[in-house]
Amino acid sequence: MKKSTLLHSEISYVISKMGHTDTLTIGDAGLPVPKGVQRIDLAVSKGIPSFMEVFEAILSEQQIEMVIMAKEIKEKSIDLHHKILEKICSLKQQDNRDIQIFYVSHEEFKEKTLESKAIIRTGEFTPYANIILVSGVVF
């Protein structure tokens, strides 16, 4: 049995196949998944699993150098936005590395998901609880 935090085999497989600058999206229950992009559906019911639970599990396995969020999260989901920033700040301090944060319109965000290796759907019902993780390198 796998020992690390992230136990979901499909997500682990996608991350293991990713290279530098490849992207992985974590979305709320309503984020559309474009045709041709792998959907990993974790949503069980409202709030299960939460966005933050999935985000934290993925960060335990994926090296990231950049995140992209919809700019609307700053006004519509202030608490979640702060939690995301706290987690990213913690990673920066822990690994002594720079993680860039970019904001785009929600429409542009959805267009960028076309490039994702996969989109992971959570049970999150918080508006704009979506993030694109850009893979970094471990060296």
In a domain, 21, yes or no: yes
Q: What is the CATH number of the domain that holds 131?
A: 3.40.1650.10
Q: How many domains does the chain have?
A: 1
Q: Domain limits at 75?
A: 13-135
What's the pLDDT score for residue 1?
Answer: 63
Mean pLDDT by 10 residues, the chain (139 residues): 82 96 98 97 97 96 96 98 96 84 98 98 98 93
20 annotated active-site: yes
The annotated binding site is made up of 28, 106, 128-130
Q: Two tokens at 18?
A: 């990713």
The annotated binding site for substrate is made up of 28, 106, 128-130
Q: How far apart are CA 59 and CA 57, in angstroms?
A: 5
Find the catalytic residue in 8, 20, 81, 82: 20
